[in-house]
Amino acid sequence: MDGDASPRGEIDGAPKGSGSLDISAPIHLDVPSLLGIVFDKLIILILSIMGLMSVKVTINNDECTGCGLCYNDECPDVFEEDDDGNSRLKAQFRKGGPQDGEIPEDKKGCAQSASDACPVSAITVG
């Protein structure tokens, strides 16, 4: 017989039964990959709980002019206005005084935007 097709019309090399969905087939999980993903997530969770993935933030209160760019526009999640109109960290992020603290890694971009926008470079991130 000429050609690549088998006598029953199957294409050589194609798995038997291809072209139809076998819903009774067991799902094969790649256990090592699955464990790797779970392990990575666990490590991130533990480091977050331990505060090892936090980022240091300081505000130089002597330089701050109270323009409000950081707490009003760029990153109100992290910064707020103090009684003098200057910037301070929100209470949950303070470690020393109101201008010294640590933020979670997921707030770093926001704080960095505030630092970049600050006209007197009063905010240090990292």
Whichever of 70 and 110 has its CB closer to ligand SF4, that residue is 70
Whichever of 41 and 56 has its CB closer to ligand SF4, that residue is 56
Largest Cα–Cα separation, the chain: 94
- Residue 69 interacting with ligand SF4 (CB under 6 A): yes
- Residue 118 interacting with ligand SF4 (CB under 6 A): yes
- Residue 68 interacting with ligand SF4 (CB under 6 A): yes
Kindly state the smallest distance separating residue 100's Cβ from ligand SF4, in Å: 13
Helices marked H in the chain — which ranges? 31-50, 108-117
Burial zone of 13 (CB within 10 Å; 0-12 exposed, 13-18 middle, 19+ buried): exposed
